[in-house]
Structure 1
Amino acid sequence: MSLVSIRIITTDVKGLVKFYEKVTGMPIVQYTPDFAELQTKTATLAIGSTKTLRFFGGEAVAQASKNRSAIIEFLVDDVEKDYERLADFLEPYMVQKPTTMPWGNKSLLFRDPDGNLVNLFTPTTPETIKKFESKQ
């Protein structure tokens, strides 16, 4: 089994597409006004509008802007450089400036416009660097 995708449900696909393109510096393919994907080497971040919920049984299946338990994480080469590049843009969304965590990653934590937590991180210890070698 492989985890291949995480999907965010939103009322503003276009807004989240612009936000994640700015944060990642990567293009997002918007297949329809209601569905887009950011494809990385290891997984895909999908962005779907609330209108897509009808295909899964109705609007009660998921609610936009209600996440309070998951963190979307991106492995980056240098979290300090990304912070410098994005500091002004992320100001209203900032949760935590780059901080070294006890498990060996330096993390930048912020929220997207829908309130989803996002973590950009860089491994810093020999153990964490080795752990993520194949994912870079």
Structure 2
Amino acid sequence: MDFVSIRVITADVARLTGFYERATGVSATRPTEDFSELRTPTATLAIASTRTVPLFAPDSARPADNRSVIIEFLVDDVDRAHRDLAEAGVEFVNEPTTMPWGNRSLLFRDPDGNLVNFFTPVTPEAKEKFAR
């Protein structure tokens, strides 16, 4: 089994897709106005409209209602990402912080309030774990 993507349900696909394109530098594909994907070499962030939810199971997902998942991106330099995001007016949850497990981490919220973590491995162990 391979983990390939996470899908975020939103009331505004264009707004949320634009946010993630700016934050990550990854261009999205948009097969319809109700769906987009930001593909990286290791996983995909899918963004889908509330209009897609009934196709799976009516009332099974609500936009801007997440308080348990953190969407994580490995970045080359979390401090530089912090400066870039600050210029874009992003709402930060914390400043870049080195975690006990060896990653320098930055938490912020996307326009729907979902938590996003940009992190950079900084200890030898963490660097080895995430070596590309």
TM-score, structure 2 normalization: 0.97
State the superposition RMSD in angstroms: 0.9
1:129 aligns with 2:127: yes
1:20 CA displacement: 0.2
User: 2:112 aligned with 1:114, yes or no?
Assistant: yes
Report % sequence identity.
Answer: 58
User: 1:90, 1:21 → 2: CA distance?
Assistant: 15
CA distance, structure 1, for counterparts of residue 80 and residue 32 of structure 2 = 33
- Look up the SS of the partner of 1:97 in the other structure: coil
C-alpha separation between the residues in 2 aligned to 1:86 and 1:65?
20
Aligned to 1:74: 73
**Alpha-carbon offset, residue 26 of structure 1:** 1.2
* Runs of 5+ consecutive residues of structure 2 not aligned to the other structure: none
Q: How many residue pairs align between the two structures?
A: 132
Deviation at 1:49, TM superposition (A): 0.3
Alpha-carbon distance in 2 for matches of 1:68, 1:88: 26
The 5 Å alignment of 1:79-118 reads: 79-91=78-90, 93-118=91-116
Unaligned runs of 5+ in 1: none
Measured in 2, the distance between the counterparts of 1:68 and 1:85 equals: 25
User: In structure 1, what residue type is equivalent to 2:95?
Assistant: K
CA distance in 2, matches of 1:90, 1:106: 21
In structure 1, the partner of 2:27 is 27
Task: Kindly state the Cα deviation for residue 81 of structure 1 after the two structures are TM-superposed.
Answer: 1.1
Say whether 1:50 aligns with 2:50: yes
- Deviation of the 1:22 alpha carbon: 0.5
CA distance in 1, matches of 2:35, 2:76: 28
The whole-number CA distance in structure 1 between the counterparts of 2:120 and 2:86 is 17
Counterpart residue number, 2:2 = 2
* Residue type of the alignment partner of 1:131: K
Give the 4+ runs in structure 1 shifted more than 4 A. Answer: none
* Aligned residue identity for 1:16: L
